Amino acid sequence: MLKPDETILLIEDDRVDIMTVQRALKKNKVSNPLYIARTGLEALSMLRGESGFEKLPSPPALILLDLNLPKMSGIEFLRELRSDPKLKALHIIVLTSSNEPKDRVAAYEYDVDDYIVKPHSYDEFTRAMGTILEYWDES
Protein backbone atom coordinates (compact mmCIF):
# COMPACT_ATOMS: atom_id res chain seq x y z
CA MET A 1 0.00 0.00 0.00
CA LEU A 2 1.15 3.51 -0.57
CA LYS A 3 2.57 5.25 2.47
CA PRO A 4 0.18 7.96 3.72
CA ASP A 5 2.38 10.86 2.60
CA GLU A 6 3.15 9.49 -0.87
CA THR A 7 1.42 11.28 -3.71
CA ILE A 8 -0.51 10.06 -6.71
CA LEU A 9 -0.58 11.98 -9.99
CA LEU A 10 -3.62 11.41 -12.18
CA ILE A 11 -3.21 12.52 -15.79
CA GLU A 12 -6.75 12.64 -17.14
CA ASP A 13 -8.77 15.19 -19.09
CA ASP A 14 -12.28 13.79 -18.58
CA ARG A 15 -14.09 15.28 -15.55
CA VAL A 16 -16.26 12.22 -15.01
CA ASP A 17 -13.25 9.90 -15.05
CA ILE A 18 -11.44 12.18 -12.60
CA MET A 19 -14.40 12.05 -10.21
CA THR A 20 -14.64 8.28 -10.66
CA VAL A 21 -10.97 7.83 -9.73
CA GLN A 22 -11.44 10.09 -6.69
CA ARG A 23 -14.50 8.13 -5.55
CA ALA A 24 -12.81 4.76 -6.18
CA LEU A 25 -9.75 5.81 -4.16
CA LYS A 26 -11.99 6.97 -1.31
CA LYS A 27 -13.98 3.73 -1.41
CA ASN A 28 -10.69 1.81 -1.23
CA LYS A 29 -9.75 3.93 1.81
CA VAL A 30 -6.88 5.70 0.07
CA SER A 31 -6.39 9.23 1.36
CA ASN A 32 -3.02 9.96 -0.25
CA PRO A 33 -2.60 13.38 -1.81
CA LEU A 34 -3.98 13.25 -5.37
CA TYR A 35 -2.76 15.75 -7.94
CA ILE A 36 -4.50 16.10 -11.26
CA ALA A 37 -3.06 17.16 -14.59
CA ARG A 38 -5.41 17.45 -17.55
CA THR A 39 -2.71 17.08 -20.23
CA GLY A 40 0.66 15.44 -20.55
CA LEU A 41 2.28 18.86 -20.95
CA GLU A 42 0.68 20.03 -17.71
CA ALA A 43 1.89 16.89 -15.93
CA LEU A 44 5.47 17.39 -17.13
CA SER A 45 5.33 21.02 -15.98
CA MET A 46 4.07 19.93 -12.56
CA LEU A 47 6.78 17.28 -12.28
CA ARG A 48 9.50 19.75 -13.29
CA GLY A 49 8.09 22.89 -11.68
CA GLU A 50 7.98 24.69 -15.04
CA SER A 51 5.68 27.05 -16.94
CA GLY A 52 4.03 28.62 -13.92
CA PHE A 53 3.07 25.30 -12.33
CA GLU A 54 4.03 24.63 -8.77
CA LYS A 55 6.33 21.65 -8.56
CA LEU A 56 4.84 18.67 -6.75
CA PRO A 57 6.08 18.49 -3.13
CA SER A 58 7.71 15.14 -3.90
CA PRO A 59 7.89 12.83 -6.89
CA PRO A 60 4.65 10.87 -7.10
CA ALA A 61 4.81 7.28 -5.90
CA LEU A 62 2.32 6.43 -8.63
CA ILE A 63 1.16 8.02 -11.88
CA LEU A 64 -2.19 6.99 -13.36
CA LEU A 65 -2.07 7.89 -17.04
CA ASP A 66 -4.82 8.09 -19.63
CA LEU A 67 -3.55 7.70 -23.20
CA ASN A 68 -6.20 9.79 -24.96
CA LEU A 69 -5.17 13.29 -23.96
CA PRO A 70 -5.27 16.68 -25.70
CA LYS A 71 -2.07 18.47 -26.79
CA MET A 72 0.20 15.51 -25.98
CA SER A 73 -0.90 11.88 -26.10
CA GLY A 74 -0.13 9.52 -23.26
CA ILE A 75 2.44 7.75 -25.43
CA GLU A 76 4.15 11.08 -26.20
CA PHE A 77 4.12 11.82 -22.46
CA LEU A 78 5.75 8.45 -21.74
CA ARG A 79 8.43 9.08 -24.37
CA GLU A 80 9.26 12.49 -22.85
CA LEU A 81 9.15 11.22 -19.26
CA ARG A 82 11.39 8.21 -19.90
CA SER A 83 13.95 10.42 -21.68
CA ASP A 84 14.27 12.67 -18.61
CA PRO A 85 16.95 11.30 -16.22
CA LYS A 86 15.22 12.85 -13.20
CA LEU A 87 11.79 11.40 -14.03
CA LYS A 88 12.40 8.16 -15.90
CA ALA A 89 12.16 5.87 -12.85
CA LEU A 90 8.62 6.95 -11.85
CA HIS A 91 5.98 4.21 -11.61
CA ILE A 92 3.19 4.48 -14.15
CA ILE A 93 -0.03 2.60 -14.61
CA VAL A 94 -1.90 3.28 -17.81
CA LEU A 95 -5.60 3.63 -17.04
CA THR A 96 -7.31 4.17 -20.37
CA SER A 97 -10.35 3.40 -22.47
CA SER A 98 -8.14 2.16 -25.31
CA ASN A 99 -8.09 -1.60 -25.75
CA GLU A 100 -6.07 -1.29 -28.96
CA PRO A 101 -3.17 -3.78 -29.07
CA LYS A 102 -0.91 -1.11 -30.66
CA ASP A 103 -1.51 1.21 -27.66
CA ARG A 104 -0.76 -1.58 -25.19
CA VAL A 105 2.47 -2.51 -27.02
CA ALA A 106 3.53 1.14 -27.26
CA ALA A 107 2.90 1.72 -23.53
CA TYR A 108 4.90 -1.36 -22.50
CA GLU A 109 7.78 -0.18 -24.70
CA TYR A 110 8.09 2.67 -22.19
CA ASP A 111 8.20 0.35 -19.16
CA VAL A 112 4.79 1.04 -17.66
CA ASP A 113 4.03 -1.00 -14.57
CA ASP A 114 0.59 -2.05 -15.81
CA TYR A 115 -2.02 -1.34 -18.47
CA ILE A 116 -5.64 -1.32 -17.37
CA VAL A 117 -8.62 -0.71 -19.62
CA LYS A 118 -11.14 1.45 -17.78
CA PRO A 119 -14.15 -0.62 -16.79
CA HIS A 120 -17.56 0.75 -17.74
CA SER A 121 -19.32 0.39 -14.42
CA TYR A 122 -18.39 2.18 -11.21
CA ASP A 123 -18.23 -1.09 -9.23
CA GLU A 124 -15.85 -2.63 -11.77
CA PHE A 125 -13.78 0.55 -11.73
CA THR A 126 -13.58 0.44 -7.92
CA ARG A 127 -12.44 -3.20 -8.09
CA ALA A 128 -9.81 -2.26 -10.70
CA MET A 129 -8.49 0.47 -8.39
CA GLY A 130 -8.41 -2.08 -5.56
CA THR A 131 -6.32 -4.37 -7.78
CA ILE A 132 -3.90 -1.53 -8.52
CA LEU A 133 -3.55 -0.83 -4.82
CA GLU A 134 -3.03 -4.52 -3.99
CA TYR A 135 -0.22 -4.61 -6.54
CA TRP A 136 1.34 -1.58 -4.89
CA ASP A 137 1.00 -3.25 -1.48
CA GLU A 138 3.11 -6.15 -2.75
CA SER A 139 5.83 -4.06 -4.39
pLDDT level of residue 57 (50, 70, 90 thresholds): confident
Are 56 and 35 spatial neighbours (Cβ–Cβ below 8 Å)?
yes
Residue 128 contacts by C-beta under 8 Å, 6 or more apart in sequence?
24, 95, 116, 118, 119
Residue 105 included in any domain = yes
The CATH number of the domain holding residue 61 is 3.40.50.2300
Structural domain contains residue 2: no
Q: Which amino acid is at 81?
A: L
* Per-residue confidence band for 48, with pLDDT thresholds at 50, 70 and 90: very high
pLDDT digits (tens, 9 = 90+) for 102-136: 999 999 999 999 898 988 888 888 888 887 777 66
Flag whether 68 is in a domain: yes
Residue 3 lies in a domain: no
Provide the domain limits for residue 73: 8-138
Mean pLDDT for the stretch of residues 70-87: 95
User: Looking at residue 135, what is its pLDDT?
Assistant: 66
Question: Three-state SS for 114?
Answer: strand
**Number of other residues whose CB lies within 10 A of the CB of residue 85:** 7
How far is Cα 81 from Cα 68, in angstroms, rounded to an integer? 16
